[in-house]
Amino acid sequence: MTFKLIISLILLFNFFNNSEINEWGQTGHRVIAKIAQQYLNDNTRDSINKILNGKSLVSVSNFADEIKSDRKYDKYKPWHYVNMNLEDNYEDIVLNKKGDVVQAINYSIDILNNKKSSRNERKFYLKLLIHFIGDIHQPLHVGRFKDRGGNDIKVKWFGKSTNLHRVWDSQIIDSHQMSYTELSKDLPILTLREINKIKNDSILIWVKESQNLSKLIYSDVISESNLGFHYKYKYLDKLKLRLLKGGIRLASILNKIFS
């Protein structure tokens, strides 16, 4: 086996290993981070600038996905989602000892609020927090146990085989053919009252919103459904609202931490 072939196989393995659960894809996470940057106050922006050495929220928004291929970060893989029965409330379930996206967000916030945390710890968990607040707003990251958040539901997207989770991670967004900067300007316009309510919603509300939307998503497909334009335009506005809420809430959490 040639060296070139070995490298190709490694890259191919990493692609499929990391694409199974790819949380909003790169574009979705960048949109959420872009929105959040617009809602940061000056103190928060300055603090984050120092921690990230001048890097933007957008530039680190996919960090938690990028480290998946490194085995030393394997323990963080369950932190991207929470699978549960759709009839259950998160506060009533037995928590996964390996963690889930709710525990991950709370833990990252605790690290950032702890004055004893090292600079490297704050940098690492800030990057995770940026990503995980995006993840929890992807409805199928609050999906069912039995199909792993839609990963095991095989469907077609414009005639090509895929799975329901991937449709929601990236394929609806990518089919819209907008860059993250364009998409961030093409989101719903909210009143100040609506924005303030979104800011103040608890993390359990975030979970319940994603859970309720995932119920609708599950009820709307069967295995091997051929999804296309009708499906895209039925759900596009709902998807955009999840992105917008994710960005507003990320900024709100960061402002509370750093102000």
Q: What Å distances lie between residue 148 and 29, 67, 137, 166, 199, CA to CA?
A: 21, 21, 16, 12, 29
- pLDDT score recorded for residue 2: 54
Instruction: Take residue 205 and report the two structure tokens written for it.
Output: 């509300």
Domain boundaries defined on the chain: 3-258
Instruction: Take residue 192 and report the two structure tokens written for it.
Output: 């100040």
Beta carbons within 8 Å of 89's beta carbon, 6+ residues apart: 204, 208
Cα four-point dihedral sign 52, 58, 59, 65: positive
Beta carbons within 8 Å of 135's beta carbon, 6+ residues apart: 23, 24, 64, 80, 81, 101, 141
- pLDDT score recorded for residue 123: 99
Mean pLDDT per 10-residue run, the chain (259 residues)?
46 40 79 98 98 98 97 98 96 96 99 98 99 98 96 97 97 96 97 98 98 97 92 97 99 97
Q: Specify the CATH number of the domain 3-258.
A: 1.10.575.10
| Cα dihedral value 4, 10, 12, 16, nearest 10 | 180
Tokens 């989602």 found at: 81
- pLDDT score recorded for residue 222: 86
- pLDDT score recorded for residue 19: 37
User: Whole-prediction pTM value?
Assistant: 0.90
Count of all residues that appear for the chain in the document: 259
Calpha distance 248→241 (Å, rounded): 11
- pLDDT score recorded for residue 12: 42
- pLDDT score recorded for residue 44: 98
- pLDDT score recorded for residue 24: 73
Beta carbons within 8 Å of 187's beta carbon, 6+ residues apart: 31, 35, 240, 241, 243, 244
- pLDDT score recorded for residue 1: 53
- pLDDT score recorded for residue 25: 84
Calpha distance 123→45 (Å, rounded): 14
Residue 120 burial class via C-beta count within 10 angstroms: exposed 0-12, middle 13-18, buried 19 and up: exposed
116 with 225: CB under 8 angstroms? no
